[in-house]
Amino acid sequence: MATLKDQIVRWSLSSKRDTDHQDSAHEANPSSHLVEVPAASVSTDAKKAHTSGIDYYHIKVKLHQMLISRIDLNAIESLSPVQLRNELERILVLLIEEESIPFNHKERVRLIADLKYEILGLGPLEPLLADPNISEIMVNGYEKIYIEKNGRIELTDIQFGNNEHLMKIIDKIVSRIGRRIDEFTPMVDARLPDGSRVNAIIPPLALDGPVLTIRRFAVVPLQLYDILEKKTLTSAMGELLAALVKVKTNIIISGGTGTGKTTLLNILSSFIPSGERIVTIEDTAELQLQQNHVIRLETRPPNVEGKGEITMHVLVKNALRMRPDRIVLGEVRGVEVIDMLQAMNTGHEGSLTTIHANTPKDALIRLENLMGMGNMNFSSKALRQIIASSIHFIIQVNRMSDGSRKIASIQEVIGMQGDSITMQEIYTYKQTGMSQDGAIQGGFSATGIRPERAEKIHSYGISLDEEMFTPAHNH
């Protein structure tokens, strides 16, 4: 794991290369020094601010290198974060005065803030990371940074100085967790200290420059009432789902990318009784269970030599030896599904997971295909029988065109009919139109079918209003 000192040294070397490159360019073309150069700025506002034509990014790189030369690298590790920020600001103010940089007060404040972001954080991304309403940050090369905010995707006016600048930030992210990214390892998954999930892919695989995607999660985990307010489901649907979890129902949450599967998994997991031993298994830790007796496991990718990988399959098998009451699997996408279904069938009822599929029927087909990857010598019918006896409910969650998320279907798996798995739909969502501002219009409705699981819910002393299952119970 790279320390702050290590990161500053690495950044110092790369900044020195940038400075040398710019100085060489200046020698070849003296007019390109500090004037008559288009600003490679952090934002459009910064571009507008520097009407004198001074290259903002060039100045920032120069100051950054000078700042590094003034920092006592051995002393910084003894400073608190506040002390370090104050020390950096003190040095930067002196450097700006010494270099007589022709910026006004507002521009100097912006420059100092940007440089502190570069040293202590993730550069131009810091303002976005500070906004709790942003759920996704998508960097498509240095010039285009998109965000998802309140369900809508929009292009920001924030930019990196160039692709080298973006690569430094990516390297900073992955080096913190002891990984590397280069032309030999051009893809990497990582996470930020706040739990945000990071994926980076660089040339030669990414043809138009480095691509960085950061999926963020709420500091305070969302609760059922949060998605009720967002109209992801109705109160009756929420009441049913909470009861299903409490009575140890095996549930699969199905949905596409970015539909909110993990968010819903986290919310449903909150209804697991606190006295139970829960083992969570994920590729990248995202779940935020609040119970006391939680064991968190995370897979490990292979190192640069291709060794040391610990797969989901291995962790699921190990989890079964840890005396879990329930297993919560972040997502099934490989042969680990076999062990997961066996666990659901052999004393670990109430386990939860997600799967990438567009409909409940597609989810069943995908489960069968994943089981086939395990070289099991079973017929298709036998595989379906295992699935039908293991899975009790499938919840389908969709992302709508306006960015909202909806639980599109809640279906109960009731067994086999011939060679096919049979399900019955309990709740559904139907889109009826779209408003002038692009908002989806539609409603949830009960299908009139009372789930077979209702008897078990009643046996646990949980009362459900029978009216919640009638077709008249529409929203």
Question: pTM for this one?
Answer: 0.77
Q: Can you give the three-state secondary structure of 203-215, one letter per residue?
A: CCCCCCCCEEEEE
**Residue 228 CB partners (closer than 8 Å, separation 6+):** 234, 235, 238
Phi-psi region of 248 (alpha: psi -120 to 50; beta: other; left: phi over 0): left
DSSP SS3 for 389: helix
Element (H, E) at 431: strand 420-434
According to CATH, the topology of domain 125-219 is Beta-Lactamase (3.30.450)
Minimal CA–CA distance to 395: which of 194, 204, 272, 260?
Answer: 260
Please report, in tens digits, the pLDDT of each residue of the chain (475 residues total): 555 555 565 555 555 555 555 444 444 444 333 323 233 344 544 444 443 446 777 787 788 888 877 877 677 777 787 888 888 888 888 888 888 888 888 888 888 888 888 888 898 999 999 998 899 999 999 999 999 998 889 999 999 989 999 999 999 999 888 788 998 889 998 888 888 889 999 999 999 999 999 998 777 788 999 999 999 999 999 999 999 999 999 999 999 998 999 999 999 999 999 999 999 999 888 888 989 999 999 998 887 677 889 999 999 999 999 999 999 999 999 999 999 998 898 878 999 999 999 999 999 999 999 998 877 778 899 999 999 999 999 999 999 999 999 999 999 999 999 999 999 999 999 999 999 988 999 999 999 999 999 999 999 999 999 999 998 656 5
263 burial class (0-12, 13-18, 19+ CB within 10 angstroms)?
Answer: buried
Both tokens of 303, joined, read: 């190192």
Minimal CA–CA distance to 454: which of 437, 440, 444, 468?
Answer: 468
**Residue 227 CB partners (closer than 8 Å, separation 6+):** 233, 238, 260, 263, 264, 267, 405
Check if the beta carbon of residue 343 is closer than 8 Å to that of residue 389. no
For tokens 């070289």, the residue is 375
- Terminal C-alpha separation, the chain: 51
Q: Where are the chain's structural domains?
A: 58-120, 125-219, 224-469
Count CA within 13 A, CB hemisphere, residue 377.
Answer: 0
What's the DSSP call for residue 463? -
Q: Can you give the three-state secondary structure of 148-205, one letter per residue?
A: EECCEEEECCECCCCHHHHHHHHHHHHHCCCCCCCCCCCEEEEECCCCCEEEEECCCC
Minimal CA–CA distance to 237: which of 465, 74, 28?
Answer: 465
Check if the beta carbon of residue 345 is closer than 8 Å to that of residue 353. no
Both tokens of 439, joined, read: 């908002």
224-469 matches 125-219 in CATH topology = no
As its CATH architecture, domain 224-469 has 3-Layer(aba) Sandwich (3.40)
Task: Determine the pLDDT at residue 81.
Answer: 77
Minimal CA–CA distance to 39: which of 211, 167, 162?
Answer: 162
Angle at 312 between CA 296 and CA 388, to 5 degrees: 100
